Amino acid sequence: MKRILKVKEYNEFQTLKNGWNDSLNVSLDNNVFSTWEWLSTWWKHFGEEKKLIILLVEDKNEILAIAPFVLSSCSLFGFGGLKKISFVGSPDSDYNSFIFKERNVKLLESILDYLNNHIDWDYLELEDISEISASMDLLRRIPLKKPYKHWDERQSTLCPFLTLPNSMDVFMKGLSKNMRQNLRRYMRKLEREHRVEFKNYDEIGSVKEAMETFFQLHQKRWESRGDLGAFNNPLVRNFHIDIAKRFAEKGWLRLYFLTVNDKPVSTHYSFEYNQKVYYYLGGWDPKYSRYMIGSLFMMYDIEKCIQRGLKEYDLMRGIEPYKTRWTTKARKNINVSFVRKGLFPQIYSWLIKRDKIHKAYALLLSRVPALGEN
């Protein structure tokens, strides 16, 4: 007989590690952002003033589904306390999902029924669900099964990716002639003028030391453009240092550096999981921009992935020009929201939708001219 267990304390979350990842490994949406390591570390750093609601659907002590939720309070124009349910990890996870062992809409219905019957909430906001995931497939069936009012689905962002071939020669032939020539020319120039090496994080120092070097290079890149960068906040830096340590223990951390005369000048911070690379962020010293240092590093990183026999290089959220130089393939992330009750949540939902549409349109306009850059 199926039952739903609720986990609401961090120490309970800690005990789920083995069963969680065992279930994830045989699930329909097995991605690195659904691992116990990622989500428990996220909660440790960002869970303050939020409530943990992890729902486990079990049958005869077998976990059939996991719903990793967080309950938080939002306000509108400084008034009211809107109770919002979202995924643990959002908005820092590039992909969010449920963990389902089978493509069974009744499992999702039982989770939503539990929320409706046992949790006090107003607004459900599930962001960045991959369009190809089983989670998205099952969510799309919900409005057809029950009379949910104000159920909304909208595109969030595009996620470029590369399908990796069996050899680097095949990959290079898929690039434009101009790009191939530029990559080779700048690599020869760099190697002619400097001593160049590619190093793994453990050749730089400890995981923490390597991550601090990564932060510095990332911040240099963005500060040169007048931007604060993704790691301006100490809380965010500490979270990623913890993630890097945990992922290094699991063999999931990919943190490489290009060094010039023993000095790190470019870096990629990414994750290797389930035969796939998740490229999170990079950075480089702007002093070396004349060598196309970012593109040279990307070429090296892709070559390492092909040598390891990996199947996909996921560039994740955003259609930045440096991604579109390497691939024309992209998948959509989808946001799903549902207003449970009340005028206040409906107004909030309408404003959120309107704001995100305007931001997406402005982002598209700002990037269109750059898409044709070489």
What pLDDT was estimated at residue 354? Answer: 58
> Do the domain assignments include residue 27?
yes
pTM (two decimals): 0.89
What pLDDT was estimated at residue 371? Answer: 29
What's the domain range around 106? Answer: 2-157+334-372
- Do 300 and 367 fall into the same domain? no
Q: Could you tell me the pLDDT band of residue 342, with boundaries at 50, 70 and 90?
A: low
The Cα–Cα gap between 230 and 236 comes to 8
What tokens does 58 get? 């079990």
> Do the domain assignments include residue 327?
no
- Do 252 and 348 fall into the same domain? no
What pLDDT was estimated at residue 76? Answer: 59
Strand pairing partners for 331? 159
- Do 143 and 245 fall into the same domain? no
- Do 50 and 185 fall into the same domain? no
- Do 175 and 31 fall into the same domain? no
What pLDDT was estimated at residue 209? Answer: 97
- Of residues 46, 68, 63, the one with CA closest to residue 129: 68
Amino acid (one-letter) located at 64 = L
Q: Tens digit of pLDDT for each residue in 114-149?
A: 999 999 998 899 999 999 999 999 999 987 665 566
362: CATH: 3.40.630.30
Cis before 91 (ω within 30) = yes
- Do 231 and 300 fall into the same domain? yes
> Do the domain assignments include residue 329?
no
> Do the domain assignments include residue 324?
no
- Do 144 and 176 fall into the same domain? no
> Do the domain assignments include residue 108?
yes
Q: Tens digit of pLDDT for each residue in 229-257?
A: 789 899 999 999 999 999 999 999 999 99
